[in-house]
Chains A and B, each alone.
Chain A
Amino acid sequence: MMTQTMIAPETLEDALAAMHAEPGSMALAGGATLVAMMNAGLVEPNSLVALRHVDTLRGTRQLDDGGIELGAMRRHRETALETPFKDGQTVLSYAASQIANPTVRNMGTLGGSIAFNDPGADYPAALVAANATILIVGATGTREVSAEAFFVDWYTTALEAGELVAGVRVPAALVGSIGHYEKLARIAGDFAVASVALQVTWSGDSIAAARIAIGGSGPTPLHLAEADDMLIGTGADSDALSKAGLLLAQAADPVDDVRASADYRRKVIPRLLAKAMREIAPAREAA
């Protein structure tokens, strides 16, 4: 028999015990993703474990090596406006500031968003571009998974039953690198038709390092080391950009949906990449 209870523990240990005790229970963070899915009839949890009182999931921690750990209950608003990101780490604040609208950014959390892996969501590509690590906690202990390995398939992550996202570790970005998130959406705040998240480091007139991830164009964010390499040593001229963009577009696995056709998504990927590079030009000149 389904008990259908809501439990609101105050410690992570109690939360994990509650998840374990009731198979089919789901963790409730800000509600922006999970409750929307419940309202749509797509998810019917047996019981819910509300994480609102688990203080250890809320904060941020600056690491000695320049990395930053963000708690899973960090709200989008806080990630967008109140996190001391440096250099290319700012790809995350750019992404967070474009999620939904101010009210939903006041509710939705980092952990809640990524645990669902909506292909149109903004964090996945940004976390892959930032080379971030997802911190996972379960009854048997903690483990860390790279963002690239965490997003497994459509709406599927590396989380096992009974596990929770505890947080995210964003490593220090290269000194002087620039972070940017370029999103194409039908209207501001909608899910992405397609997006480009990147970290780029310039050395004089040429690119010394690049890490590009494409969102909204397949089951998981797309990152190709070959595409990054195509830009390195170039001046991000239109030829280099269209070659890298084309490679990404060919590797993308988008679908037709209400927002755009798969063909359209493939078509805009190179253009979005070029636009992202134009957008960061002022930051590059200032550096």
Chain B
Amino acid sequence: MTEMVTLRVNGREHPCRAGIATTLLTVLRDQCELPGTKRGCNQGVCGACSVLVGGKPVRACLTLATDCEDREVTTIEGVGTPARPNAVQQALIDTGAVQCGFCTPGMVIAATALLEEHPDADIETIRQGLSSNLCRCSGYRKIVEAVSLAARRTAS
């Protein structure tokens, strides 16, 4: 059985249908037409599905859609656009820190939330902050470099 839920995603209202076992991830990708959020492990381990709920990073795969009705959801599509990338996205481009790209949306969400909380994050803080996210290309070094660049740019 499904019920109607209205999700507020990236500042827009999306009427959706969800059963009790339907995750936010499924609804974002299949009904909201926001496929930037990736399904990796579906167990909360890999971080590819990271989104912001109420400004805090969470796993969309471990969040039920029907439990999100009164919460503000921000996906990768909501943090920047190709024309206006946010500081983390621009730094990833400038550093060449994207390989296959599958982990990138989750990495951007995690890094954006991290820099929100720690604008002057040092390398260790960045490494800890990104430890929620796996990169299957193992391209961590460049990603950490990029987030560090974004932190320095934001600070100056």
A residues adjacent to B (C-beta < 8 A):
2-6, 8, 28, 30-32, 35-36, 38-40, 44-45, 47-48, 50, 52, 100-104, 106-107, 188-189
Contact = CB atoms under 8 A, between A and B. Distances in A.
Nearest to B61: A39
A5 to B, nearest CB: 7
B123 interface: no
A102 B42 CA distance: 17
B58 interface: yes
B62 A35 contact: yes
A45 B43 contact: no
B131 A8 contact: no
Contact of B61 (A4, A30, A35, A106): A35
A39 B42 contact: yes
Nearest to A48: B20
A6 B66 contact: yes
Contacts of A30: 62
B43 A39 contact: yes
B80 to A, nearest CB: 20
Looking at B3, B20, B132, the one whose CB has the most chain A CB atoms below 10 A away is B20
Contacts of B57: 102-103, 106
Contacts of A100: 44-45
Nearest to A188: B131
Interface string B1-13: 1010000000000
A36 B132 contact: no
B21 interface: yes
A189 B58 contact: no
Chain B, interface SS category: mixed
Chain A, interface SS category: loop
B23 interface: yes
A107 B64 CA distance: 12
Interface size band for B = 20 to 34
A4 B2 CA distance: 8
Interface in B105-136: 110, 128-129, 131-133
9 shortest A-B CB distances, which residue pairs? A101-B132, A103-B132, A6-B66, A35-B62, A31-B62, A4-B1, A39-B42, A103-B57, A102-B132
B58 A35 contact: no
A189 B131 contact: yes
B30 interface: no
A39 to B, nearest CB: 5
B67 interface: yes
Given A6-B20, A35-B23, A39-B23, A103 B67 contact: no
B44 A52 contact: no
Interface in B1-59: 1, 3, 19-21, 23, 42-45, 47, 50, 56-59
B132 A31 contact: no
Nearest to A105: B132
B63 interface: yes
A241 B66 CA distance: 51
7 contacts: A4-B19, A6-B64, A6-B66, A35-B62, A39-B62, A52-B67, A103-B59
